[in-house]
Amino acid sequence: MEFFINNVWIIPALPLWSFLLILFGRIFNVYENKYISLALTAGSTFIGFISSIFILFYCINNPETSTQYNILWLDTGNLKFSIGWLVDNLAAMMLVVVTSISLLIQIYSHGYMEQDKGYHRFFAYLVLFNFSMLALVLSTNLFQTYIFWELVGVSSYLLIGFWFYKPSAAQAAKKAFIINRIGDCGLLVGTLALLFYSLNWWTSSQNILLEFATLGQAGSLALANAGPVLFGLLALGLLFGPIAKSAQIPLHTWLADAMEGPTPISALIHAATMVAAGVYLIARLYPVFELSPQIMTIMVWVGAITAFIAATIAITQTDIKKCLAYSTCSQLGYMVLAMGVGAYSAGLFHLITHAYFKAMLFLCSGAVIHSLADQQNMKYMGGLRKKIPIVAYTYLIGTLAIAGLFLSGFWSKEAILLSLYIQGKNLLLIIALITAFMTAYYMFRSYFMVFEGEYRGHAHFHKPSKIMTVPLIILAVPSALIGFIFSGSLKSIGIGSFDSFIFYGHALHEAHVSLFLPICSLIIATLGFLLAGIIYWDKLKSLYCNCFKLVEKYFSPLYKLSTNKWYFDDFNNLLIKYLILPISELISIFDKYVIDGFINLCGISTLYKGKAVSLLQNGNIQTYLVTALLSFIAIITVVFLIYII
């Protein structure tokens, strides 16, 4: 297994080579067969997946081992920037998650995109995205991470705007790119500030610049040099990157619009790659964040508010993909909340379980949309369980998992709730439980609207191909079981709990608490299911009463608030129109007439001075004599005046 550890660089290198082969193969018309692009993409990811499995088993058998290899990339005086790869428990787990989910999405994509004219271009972008995320996971230092962090952003821009001829897709790609640049600006400033306040330590200790392994020591020195206030601003800048990438409020509005891209991309972005990168970076920068209690508090409330608000928006969405998008936003809020309260393992555990069931849910929605000729509005669906039972039952498994009804999401979400309960964070616990109720409600609402009752649309229906349904069946297995497997319930057969494998500081010991919290969580999720069933499931609609109509009437402002997504987009548009654009115009005017005017004045004055002097340099001897005489007279006059004075 050490062979795979020592050659782990092959895992991201293969997708990069595949990208180049597809790119130049299409530029020079080397091949036309679509299966070549599929084979290059899926083949490189499959090899990476097998290698990742061996690496994970090695890390399980050697849990304290951390392997790091670095190559000097840039030497500028005291600054020596390196690139390399880091293999530890967290990286090994993420490698398996990214490669396994990416592989299934790539296979699924063949069936979804087979008739698209941009098939080869799509797979080139897809494998570039895969390379970017894998290289980010293996990065040994913050400098290298930032490079691939930006490359993930570029890849997402290309994929979200894949159908660039559609104005909505082009706008969504630009929106995602710009909002993420806002967060990345904060990340860059925070990185440079951290380097500035700890530079002496890096240069004197001979450690790799900004490496994750010693980031805590450098952070402590930066805190001593900068002071709590400046260090808090530094950490806040670092946090801005994950806030944007993981779609946390207020930089979350790009995520729903990103649904304009092909559905396999929605699954990839929302499951194991782009949005997961934000939480992953929080985990890597945890030694810095924990040094500032104020930033940890901000992290907690950003996660809690995002989880709650995104859930309130999801409950009224009629576009199936946007409903799942806001669900992702809400679940990411859970993860950030957990990291903020110190539940490091619980947050990452939920990241892993969420990756599988959310990828499956998006692929299920893609199968539905593909079957209904691109219809995404759930109002025009219904009764599809009888027509596509595999899709319906796998979607139901994902719904049960995310709702926290016994399947994988129950175990990871319960770990977060348990952490809040143990720490006495009662208000946060209440917010988390209310969010859990809404999660169960909107997910079962989507299931009932799409798969139960009678078909309400008019699109010509056709069944998805097996290449689209087989990945759903495979994903259903970890979606149902992975939470239970890593919950610690199988210690008797040698499978430990997640928090004994991935943890921060020291391995955690299980807390012995009553069954009150899990039972309460299950009851809340069941109530969410029942409410959705009463309203949207024909078999329970007989229980529907006028009471709900009264609630709908008197709470219509809240309904409008939800359907309008809390007016975040409207606020942003007003902010841009009445503040940012006027300020930009003023800066543009100042730049044009003051800065440029001064530069132009210097140039014009020099030009005319040159022309004036050139009048004296005309090659005429008489002109030179007159000039010399006048100059002599002027000098004599000046000397005479000085003498008199």
Q: Is 66 helix (H, G, I), strand (E, B) or coil?
A: coil
Tell me which of 71-80, 146-155, 440-449 is least confident: 71-80
d(CA 417, CA 436): 10
Residue type, 134: L
| pLDDT of the residue at 439 | 93
Q: Are residues 486 and 405 in the same domain?
A: yes
Could you report the per-residue pLDDT of 363-391, keeping only the tens digit for each?
A: 999 999 988 988 888 888 888 988 999 99
Average pLDDT over residues 183-198: 92
- DSSP annotation of 211 reads B
| pLDDT of the residue at 614 | 74
Q: Are residues 601 and 522 in the same domain?
A: no
Q: With 0-12 CB in 10 A as exposed, 13-18 as middle and 19+ as buried, what is 142?
A: buried
The pLDDT of residue 66 is above 80: yes
The pLDDT of residue 554 is above 70: no
pLDDT-derived band at 540, boundaries 50, 70, 90:
low
Handedness of CA 315, 317, 321, 326 (dihedral sign): negative
| pLDDT of the residue at 127 | 92
d(CA 337, CA 432): 9
Task: Classify residue 554: in a domain, yes or no.
Answer: no
| pLDDT of the residue at 72 | 86
| pLDDT of the residue at 208 | 82
| pLDDT of the residue at 544 | 46
| pLDDT of the residue at 546 | 47
d(CA 184, CA 190): 10
What percentage of the chain exceeds 70 in pLDDT? 94
The answer to whether 129 and 82 are in contact (CB under 8 A) is no
471: closest CA among 267, 252, 639? 267
Q: Is 274 helix (H, G, I), strand (E, B) or coil?
A: helix
d(CA 83, CA 73): 6
Residue 296: which residues within 8 A CB-CB, separation 6 or more? 289, 290, 340, 341, 342
| pLDDT of the residue at 618 | 67
d(CA 401, CA 479): 7
Average pLDDT over residues 120-148: 92
| pLDDT of the residue at 538 | 67
The answer to whether 190 and 237 are in contact (CB under 8 A) is yes
Total structural domains within the chain: 3
- DSSP annotation of 386 reads T
Cα–chain-centroid distance for residue 487?
Answer: 26
The pLDDT of residue 634 is above 90: no
Task: Classify residue 198: in a domain, yes or no.
Answer: no
Task: Classify residue 240: in a domain, yes or no.
Answer: no
Q: Bridge partners of 72?
A: 82
Handedness of CA 123, 127, 130, 132 (dihedral sign): negative
Residue type, 6: N
Count of CB atoms situated within 10 Å of the CB of 356: 29
Average pLDDT over residues 589-618: 82
Q: Tell me the DSSP string of 399-416.
A: HHHHHTSSSHHHHHHHHH
440 to each of 329, 397, 431, 519, how far by Cα in Å? 15, 12, 14, 15
| pLDDT of the residue at 543 | 47
Tell me which of 484-493, 503-512, 572-581, 592-601 is least confident: 503-512
- Stronger pLDDT, 121 or 75, i.e. the higher one: 121
Q: Are residues 521 and 430 in the same domain?
A: yes
594-618 burial by CB neighbour count: b if 16+ within 10 A, else e? eeeeeeeeeeeeeeeeeeeeeeeee
pLDDT-derived band at 562, boundaries 50, 70, 90:
confident
The answer to whether 226 and 197 are in contact (CB under 8 A) is yes
Q: Are residues 174 and 83 in the same domain?
A: yes
Q: Is 601 helix (H, G, I), strand (E, B) or coil?
A: helix
The pLDDT of residue 284 is above 50: yes
* Average pLDDT of the chain to the nearest whole number: 86
Average pLDDT over residues 199-225: 86
Could you report the per-residue pLDDT of 313-322, keeping only the tens digit for each?
A: 999 888 899 9
pLDDT-derived band at 13, boundaries 50, 70, 90:
very high
Q: Are residues 418 and 454 in the same domain?
A: yes
272: closest CA among 367, 356, 149? 356
pLDDT-derived band at 606, boundaries 50, 70, 90:
confident
Q: Are residues 597 and 476 in the same domain?
A: no
The last residue of one of the domains, among 545, 578, 596, is 545
Q: Are residues 173 and 266 in the same domain?
A: yes
pLDDT-derived band at 240, boundaries 50, 70, 90:
very high
What percentage of the chain exceeds 90 in pLDDT? 38
Task: Classify residue 530: in a domain, yes or no.
Answer: yes
The last residue of one of the domains, among 229, 258, 284, is 284
The pLDDT of residue 517 is above 50: yes
Backbone torsions φ then ψ of 292, nearest 5 degrees: -120, 100
Contacts 24+ apart (CB under 8 A), 31-36: 34/110, 34/114, 34/119, 34/120
| pLDDT of the residue at 96 | 93
- Stronger pLDDT, 550 or 394, i.e. the higher one: 394
Q: Are residues 269 and 382 in the same domain?
A: no
Task: Classify residue 232: in a domain, yes or no.
Answer: no
The length of the chain is 645
The answer to whether 180 and 208 are in contact (CB under 8 A) is no
Task: Classify residue 444: in a domain, yes or no.
Answer: yes
Q: Is 584 helix (H, G, I), strand (E, B) or coil?
A: helix
Count of CB atoms situated within 10 Å of the CB of 495: 15
Give the largest Cα separation in the chain, rounded.
116
Helix H or strand E encompassing 369? helix 344-371
| pLDDT of the residue at 235 | 92
| pLDDT of the residue at 642 | 78
Task: Classify residue 201: in a domain, yes or no.
Answer: no
Backbone torsions φ then ψ of 599, nearest 5 degrees: -65, -45
The last residue of one of the domains, among 493, 511, 545, is 545
The pLDDT of residue 494 is above 70: no
Average pLDDT over residues 604-628: 76
The pLDDT of residue 509 is above 60: no
255: closest CA among 185, 190, 184, 306? 306
Contacts 24+ apart (CB under 8 A), 508-514: 508/345, 511/418, 511/422, 513/418, 513/421, 513/422
Tell me which of 47-61, 63-77, 472-486 is least confident: 63-77
Q: Are residues 447 and 505 in the same domain?
A: yes
Q: Are residues 532 and 585 in the same domain?
A: no
d(CA 424, CA 121): 52
pLDDT-derived band at 53, boundaries 50, 70, 90:
very high
The pLDDT of residue 295 is above 90: yes
Count of CB atoms situated within 10 Å of the CB of 588: 10
348: closest CA among 339, 340, 361? 339
Residue 552: which residues within 8 A CB-CB, separation 6 or more? 559
Q: Are residues 16 and 56 in the same domain?
A: yes
Domain that includes residue 619, residue range: 568-644
325: closest CA among 160, 507, 81, 555? 160
Q: Are residues 276 and 298 in the same domain?
A: no
- What's the count of helices (H) and strands (E) in the chain, helices before strands? 26, 2
226: closest CA among 302, 288, 299? 288
Task: Classify residue 532: in a domain, yes or no.
Answer: yes
d(CA 394, CA 386): 13
